[in-house]
Amino acid sequence: MKNVYFIGIGGIGMSALARYYKFKGYNVAGYDRTPSDLTFALEREGIDVHYQDLPELLPEDKNETLVVYTPAVPADLGELKKAQEEGYLTLKRSRTLGEVAKGQRCLAVAGTHGKTTTSTLIAHILTHSGEGCSAFLGGISRNYGTNLLMSENPTIVAEADEFDRSFLQLFPEIAVITAVDADHLDIYGDYAHVVEAFKAFASQVSGILIAKKGIPVGPADTKAKVYTYHYTDTSADFYPVSAQPDACGCFHYDLYTPDGVIPGFKVGTPGWVNCENSVAAAAVALCYGIDPEAVKAAIACFEGVKRRLEVHVNTPKLSYVDDYAHHPAELSSAITSLRNIFPGRKITAIFQPHLFTRTRDFAAEFAASLSLVDKLILLDIYPAREEPIPGVTSEIIFKDVTAPEKVLIKKEQLMDYLSEEPLDVLVTFGAGNVDRFIEPITEMLNKRLSGN
């Protein structure tokens, strides 16, 4: 193969693979429906990206071309149909990642939430310690400014995505499962099938499985040695002892392990959820063989992942945080972490629901999670790959929210609404295009702070 062509190149997992093949010397190009900061970054790195469905742009020599596609693109997309009908070697993103991981020590992180931060932290520990790794991440590392790390060390860190059962293409030596919640029911049908898929993933782990205490996956489901971790449960194999936040909301703790207590951990990112993620990452690094002092040093200087409790403005009078949370469990974790970081302050949340099916399946759970804030600003549903479903709108969440204040508006109205709104702690939530508001909101709030 000389050419690798990506259909849906702007996705976070697809773009990491595109960067990998570019690094390896292949001719890389691709299509995405929507221009974004990520596609612009790929273009700056020398990768041709276009934004119209143009089958004629596939490389002419099909025998020298690999076509990689994401299942998020529609099956009737012209470029995908041409690749499949005219005999190009055509692989899903997950299968391609599985092929890349073969022959390497694979450390994988699965879970319905928490996997991006945990996998990025594991990659950071290995990199910062000097061990090195290649890493395919589900977010942009703030330490490195990318979702791809490359190393001569034949160890790969990968985010193992449950969407479309993608993670079943990975056969890790060490794996983490952070959470097993009902999600992607458009794929799985019901929670029992979600659990079944995670158990199948666990069965593919060859060495050690680090499992969140209480998830429905355990020793009976895998040949690997199973350790558990938790933020508060002292019956787990790994947990933080005497965990306390400092003035910035960053936790300090001693780490309980099966081999004894390791003192003196500090998490570089705020919130109890990041404390728990650091425990999982430390467990993986220690099982891998990284020196405890190197693990502590790396966790202390970890800057986090873009759009994961990412602080853009932070003063005693006005703060702004952005987070990718798009599932009720993620929202609850993020909001309770924010309460911990900003005690006693009024939290106003902007939430953009992601997918009609997810909104339909979890409307009551979304309402319960969003009721934890002081004020909710709810936007219309971001459809992503889906067509509208009759009767499924943001209203089915909004009607059951019991927060002291709530308002339902269209995203086109958001900036005007915020300009008149008294704010204390503002947070944007969602996996759609709500991130397009980060820069204008930050600029507006900084002007407000400066008195302009």
Q: What digits encode the pLDDT tens for the residues 42-85?
A: 999 999 999 999 999 999 999 999 999 998 898 999 999 999 99
Residues 6+ apart with CB under 8 A from 137: 12, 16, 116, 119, 120, 123, 147, 148, 149, 157, 159, 305
At 376 the pLDDT is 98
Place of tokens 């976070």: 12
At 72 the pLDDT is 83
Max mean pLDDT among 30-34, 160-164, 377-381 falls in: 377-381
Is 80 exceeded by the pLDDT of residue 452?
no
Average pLDDT over residues 328-347: 94
pLDDT > 90: percent of the chain: 90
Phi, psi of 441 (to 5 degrees): -65, -45
Average pLDDT over residues 110-133: 96
Q: How far apart are CA 221 and CA 305, in angstroms?
A: 31
* Helix 272-288 with 292-300: angle, nearest 10 deg: 150
Q: Where are the beta strands (DSSP E) in 372-423?
A: 375-378, 405-408
Average pLDDT over residues 90-94: 95
Is 80 exceeded by the pLDDT of residue 199?
yes
Q: How far apart are CA 314 and CA 399, in angstroms?
A: 32
Average pLDDT over residues 9-31: 95
pLDDT > 70: percent of the chain: 100
Average pLDDT over residues 284-312: 96
Using an 8 Å Cβ cutoff, are 207 and 173 in contact?
yes
Average pLDDT over residues 205-212: 98
Average pLDDT over residues 394-409: 98
Helix, strand, coil: what percent of the chain each, to 5? 35, 25, 40
How many CA within 13 A on the CB side of residue 444? 17
Write the single-letter amino acid at 88: Y
Residues 6+ apart with CB under 8 A from 377: 348, 349, 350, 351, 406, 407, 409, 414, 417
Is 90 exceeded by the pLDDT of residue 1?
no
Mean pLDDT computed over every residue of the chain: 95
Angle at 409 between CA 405 and CA 414, to 5 degrees: 100
Q: Give the number of other CB atoms < 10 A from CB of residue 357.
A: 17
Predicted confidence (pLDDT) per residue in 354-394, tens digit = 999 999 999 999 999 999 999 999 999 999 878 999 999 99
pLDDT-derived band at 185, boundaries 50, 70, 90: confident
Pairing of strands 148-149, 134-136: antiparallel
Q: How far is CA 98 from CA 106, 173, 190, 244, 424, in A?
A: 10, 13, 26, 39, 45
Q: Which of 245-249, 305-309, 408-412 shows the lowest per-residue confidence on average (mean pLDDT)?
A: 245-249
User: Cα–chain-centroid distance for residue 385?
Assistant: 18
Average pLDDT over residues 400-416: 97
Domains of the chain in start order, with CATH, are: 3-93 (3.40.50.720), 103-300 (3.40.1190.10), 310-450 (3.90.190.20)
At 216 the pLDDT is 96
Residue 7: strand pairing partners: 31, 69
DSSP string, 242-275: EEEE-TTS-EEEEEEETTEEEEEEE-SS-SHHHH
H or E, element range at 313: strand 310-314
Q: Give the number of other CB atoms < 10 A from CB of residue 289.
A: 7
Predicted confidence (pLDDT) per residue in 221-234, tens digit = 999 999 999 999 99
**Global model pTM greater than 0.75:** yes
